[in-house]
Amino acid sequence: MDARGVLDLLDLTLLDHDASEAALDGLCERANEHRPASVCVFAEHVPYVKRRLDDGISVAAVAAGFPVGDSDPAAASEAIYTAVQAGADEIDCVLEPRDDEGFPGKLELAMLIAMREASAGCVLKVIIETSLLDERRMRACARMALAVGADFVKSSTGKRGGCSDEAAGILAFEVMRHGVTMGSSPGIKLSGGIGTLDDVERLLALVNSEDPSIEGPDRMRIGASSLLDELIG
């Protein structure tokens, strides 16, 4: 895949609650020049960023806790709804792992339902934090997120581990499985430790070996802003 193809999938990210207006301006200038799939920021920065982006670039808000996700469905719902009201086009949320035999269980289902309901009208990307999970829990979280209507399942925040080849393959299989079962077309966001074009090509090959239809920004995203310098260098 060439640089333009990767840029079309890239969520260009600045997650810093203390980000200055100058830093946000710089983010928007780079986005307007190189046109990634979206710009991803904390919810409080959505209005500022949205006013400065050219048409056609989505704004993704990280809401309800990051990198540690919220554990209260009502609080998560309020945070997400606030981001939607601020103008977010997309919502990225962490489904926080628990060290419990019952994970994922009723609490996670309640969290996912709250995420989906509060983000109605927006693209919802659920971060599963695959680096902290074994295969059974990875699959269970992906299936639960897709069952409640998540548009994307995302591998990692990038703060507690990276996206492994195994995780990419598992998420791709679960997206394919859900699509075949339900007749829908959800997507995958790969994030965490993706630093080079070679990384992207390897991971996308693994995804496409499970489901060649997972392509384009409606079904495939890459969370790896450090890639931009390599892509445009």
**Domains detected in the chain:** 3-220 (3.20.20.70)
- Rounded CA separation 212/55 (Å): 29
* pLDDT, tens only, 122-141: 999 999 999 999 999 999 99
Model confidence, pTM: 0.96
189: annotated active-site residue: yes
Marked catalytic residue, from 11, 50, 125, 189: 189
Q: Which residues contact 140 (CB under 8 A, 6 or more apart)?
A: 104
154: annotated active-site residue: yes
pLDDT at 94: 98
- Rounded CA separation 3/34 (Å): 10
**Please, what is the Cα angle at 163 between 58 and 192, to 5 degrees?**
50
Q: For the beta carbon of residue 3, count every other beta carbon within 10 angstroms.
A: 15
DSSP class of residue 121? T
DSSP class of residue 72? -
pLDDT at 182: 96
**For the chain, which residues score pLDDT lower than 50?**
none
pLDDT at 1: 85
16: annotated active-site residue: no
**Please, what is the Cα angle at 39 between 164 and 137, to 5 degrees?**
30
Marked catalytic residue, from 92, 151, 199, 211: 92
Marked catalytic residue, from 11, 70, 125, 154: 154
| Beta-sheet strand order (sheet of 11-14) | 11-14, 38-42, 58-62, 90-94, 123-127, 152-154, 187-191, 220-223
- Rounded CA separation 77/80 (Å): 5
